Structure 1
């Protein structure tokens, strides 16, 4: 591995990371797919606001304490 920033291939090739992934039954393809989905937000899935925003709205409408 190189010093500083590492590529995804370098990280997934690290023996320690491979051991942890094997223990957790996670495959490299799943990690790649998850990161790809996180990088390109989908218009199909609605954005859920953070809990504090929901709570503030709820309190204004007297729906929660």
Structure 2
């Protein structure tokens, strides 16, 4: 059995997700629109914000690989 979900379509077709959405009166099309808009905005934010600082664990890994820290 494979529990991984790879796409939004797979997520929205999952029986448990459907039951929770029905209980909460969430429309699949509205959720899809909301999530796709969030992804689009995130992509736009990355393009605009070049001052991204990676998490500390990534900085430390790079630092050690380049022999910049002990």
Q: Please name the residue that 1:40 is paired with.
A: 40
**2:23 is the alignment partner of 1:23:** yes
Q: 1:4: Cα distance to partner?
A: 3.5
2 CA distance for matches of 1:19 and 1:5? 17
Mind listing any 5+ residue stretches in structure 2 that lack a counterpart? 45-70
Task: Confirm or deny: 8 A CA contact 2:21 2:27 kept in the other structure.
Answer: yes
Aligned length: 42
Higher fraction of helix: 2
TM-score relative to the length of structure 2: 0.50
Task: Confirm or deny: 8 A CA contact 2:5 2:11 kept in the other structure.
Answer: no
2 CA distance for matches of 1:17 and 1:3? 13
RMSD: 2.1
